[in-house]
Amino acid sequence: MSSRKRISRAYQSAPRISYNDDSKFIVFSDCHRGDNSFADDFANNRNIYYHALKHYYNEGFTYCELGDGDELWENTEFKSILEAHKNVFELMQLFFKEDRLYRLLGNHDMVYKNENYVKKHLYTYFNKITGKDDPLFPGITFSEGLVLQHQETDQEIFMLHGHQADWMNYHGWKFNRFMVRALWRQLQVFGISDPTSPAKNYRELIKVERRCKQWIIENNNLVTITGHTHRPRFPEPHEIPLFNDGSCVHPRSITGLEIENCEISLIKWAIATTEDGTLKVVRKLLEGPQKLCDYIPVT
């Protein structure tokens, strides 16, 4: 199956979410939450991520996580990830309970495609204090895509992880997972990167972006948001509308996309030092805000 067909299938099977001018969304991906070991890239930014996500919860945003939220290539069990970042999952629970959480499949958490796995590991968790199973995300579902459709204009925003444009990380994810567990995880200590990852291989990154752009052109310049490559993208209105939220494992920062007042913005959260030496988490606007209606589909 070609990348075009894989992306089209993700679009056609995606849940449709209605939104309006008052709707607010925050889009993150590629958190790669791990077990807080030496290989857990998320651990360096977890305080930044937690602060940012708490801000969006308090401000009434809906959280869209576009895949690779949990690092299930390096880690064999979700339980170890939950225990390492319990406060993050408790915050995500608040979004979930208010129907403000949408999670998509990525290549590193492709096991969530198995409904039985999700039911076993994510519906409940074992509470060591009470000795009982408590609710975590009961009934949660994962999809390959998500479509936001404006109530009045019908303009669509298509979200997906982006590994659909990457044959080896889509169909060959089990082999890649084996190689990460057997080889690349250990070599990471010495600074040797996994060459199969578009985030660490520029040639693969360009291929993925080119295939996504081609699909967008063939589908009436549909506004599309991806992750996967870890490279933020924010096109101008006259360019092909392929956005990328970046990742939450940049050195000392996380990036994401905000949608508010029918405008889209690329933002970064990082730790800054004040003049008196105090450290604080700050939000920085990188691109935008740009009106979504400016990205007019080809007619």
Average pLDDT over residues 238-250: 96
Q: Which of 65-74, 86-95, 175-184, 288-297 has the lowest mean pLDDT?
A: 175-184
Taking residue 218's Cβ as centre, other Cβ atoms within 10 Å add up to 12
Taking residue 54's Cβ as centre, other Cβ atoms within 10 Å add up to 15
Taking residue 57's Cβ as centre, other Cβ atoms within 10 Å add up to 18
pLDDT of residue 51: 98
**Which DSSP state fits 289?**
E
Average pLDDT over residues 182-196: 57
User: What token pair was written down for 167?
Assistant: 């044959």
Q: Is the pLDDT of residue 227 over 50?
A: yes
Q: How far apart are CA 102 and CA 15, in angstroms?
A: 10
Q: Using DSSP, how many helices (H) and how many strands (E) does the chain show?
A: 9, 14
Average pLDDT over residues 69-88: 95
Of 257, 249, 264, 246, give the one whose Cα is nearest residue 283: 257
pLDDT of residue 108: 95
Q: Is the pLDDT of residue 214 over 50?
A: yes
Average pLDDT over residues 37-49: 92
Q: Dihedral sign, CA of 186, 191, 197, 203? A: negative
Q: Which residues pair with 159 in a beta bridge?
A: 146, 225
Average pLDDT over residues 117-144: 93
Residues 6+ apart with CB under 8 A from 232: 244, 245, 246, 255, 266, 286
pLDDT of residue 193: 57
Q: Is the pLDDT of residue 26 over 80?
A: yes
- How do the domains of the chain map onto residue ranges? 3-294
Percent of the chain predicted with pLDDT > 70: 92
Q: Is the pLDDT of residue 207 over 60?
A: yes
pLDDT of residue 140: 98
Instruction: For 3-294, give the CATH class.
Output: alpha beta
Q: Is the pLDDT of residue 97 over 90?
A: yes
Q: How far apart are CA 144 and CA 163, in angstroms?
A: 10
Percent of the chain predicted with pLDDT > 90: 78
Q: Which of 97-101, 157-161, 167-171, 243-247 has the lowest mean pLDDT?
A: 167-171
User: What token pair was written down for 171?
Assistant: 């169909």
Tell me the backbone φ, ψ of residue 83, rounded to 5 degrees: -65, -35
User: What token pair was written down for 245?
Assistant: 């939220």
User: What token pair was written down for 91?
Assistant: 């915050």
User: What token pair was written down for 271?
Assistant: 């730790």
The one-letter code for the residue type at 217 is I
Q: How far apart are CA 141 and CA 13, in angstroms?
A: 13
Indicate the pLDDT class of residue 299, thresholds 50, 70 and 90.
Answer: very low
- Mean pLDDT of all residues belonging to the chain: 91
